[in-house]
Amino acid sequence: MNYEEKRLFSQVMRMSFNGIGMIDGKRYQANPELKKVLRKRTTGGLTILFLLSILISLFLEADPFQNKLLTQLAALASTLFFVPIHNAYCRRLFPKDLKNYLIPLEPEEEKRLGQGSE
């Protein structure tokens, strides 16, 4: 993956849940197929992080581990471990030619969608 592809991928990964985002100073909307992948990435990642935090808190609430700081550090460490793995998995889900899955928005469409210039 060259520099331009990596940059486009990171910008698409930052798109909102509804598939609208800024790329190179222009607003783009993802087509329905890319929206499904974005939603799967977001909901899957949040669900796994939520379950992971519950498991850590249950495990560390045992008698020897009554320390809240230890619980927070363990949650942070597991998150730092999980996020790169989840990103690598998501990279396989995304199509190779991302530019073809992006629809440029016209200024009228931006206003209609409530996503005007900020």
Q: Indicate whether 118 belongs to any domain.
A: no
8 A C-beta contact, residue 62 and residue 80 = no
DSSP-assigned states of every residue in 48-72: HHHHHHHHHHHHHTSTT---HHHHH
User: Is 25 part of a structural domain of the chain?
Assistant: yes
pLDDT at 66 over 70: no
Per-residue model confidence as pLDDT tens digits over 69-86: 777 777 788 778 888 888
Average pLDDT of the chain, as a whole number: 78
Average the pLDDT over 38-65 and give the result.
74
**What pLDDT, on a 0 to 100 scale, did the predictor assign at position 112?**
65
Burial 6-26 (b: 16+ CB within 10 A, else e): eebbebbeebeeebbbebeee
Range of the domain at 47: 3-112
For the chain, the residue count is 118
- Asked if residue 18 belongs to a domain, the reply is yes
**Percent of the chain surpassing pLDDT 70:** 81
In a domain, 14, yes or no: yes
CA distance 115 to 108: 10
The answer to whether position 117 is within a domain reads no
pLDDT for residue 83: 80
Q: Has residue 33 been placed in a domain? A: yes
Q: Is residue 65 part of a domain?
A: yes
Q: How many domains does the chain divide into? A: 1
User: Is a pLDDT exceeding 50 seen at residue 118?
Assistant: no
Q: Is residue 83 part of a domain?
A: yes
Task: Give the max Cα distance, the chain.
Answer: 60
